[in-house]
Structure 1
Amino acid sequence: MTRARGRCELESAYGRRCAQAAEHGDHFYPWSKGGATSLRNFVAACSQCNRRKGARIPSPGLLTRLERRRASYVQTAEAALVGERRGQ
């Protein structure tokens, strides 16, 4: 939550970052589909975005856009990386 500065990291309309407060931690790659429980796979999400995403595997485009956005508010390139699967 600190890395996201308390704000949802997922997308609202037109591929922009959601403006709502983060209320949930979500596995970017769902745990049920092989996603790791790690900081890299964790995204801060508001309840609406978290419900909308559900247990779906995000598209490669969403991953790229989220990493690009995250790079604007984190300190290192490593902290901007998103998504990790178990066993990687």
Structure 2
Amino acid sequence: MNITKVTVCALKSEVVKRCHSAVFLLENEGGRVTMQSTVTAEEGVDPAALAEALLADAIRQLARLPEYRTGETPITVADGALEGALQGA
């Protein structure tokens, strides 16, 4: 799966628990996959770093799905796929 576009929806942060979550729409030439992602990060984390950490969690989950678990189908992220991902999140 070559992820060509990433959209982040419903970004939420719980300051006390340092927990950040979002819904990711991962698009490729064949369609779209929706993943719920959650990470723990320090308060005031850079938005780009937070987006990358959340995306890494979404890809980790995606890699556990049966069609990707064997490693026969690689998961890649196209250059520029994250551009504008946080707009409107």
TM-score (norm 1): 0.31
Q: Which has the larger radius of gyration?
A: 2
Higher RCO (CA 8 Å, separation ≥ 6 residues): 2
User: How high is the TM-score relative to the length of structure 2?
Assistant: 0.31
Name the structure with the higher helix share.
Answer: 1
Higher strand residue share: 2
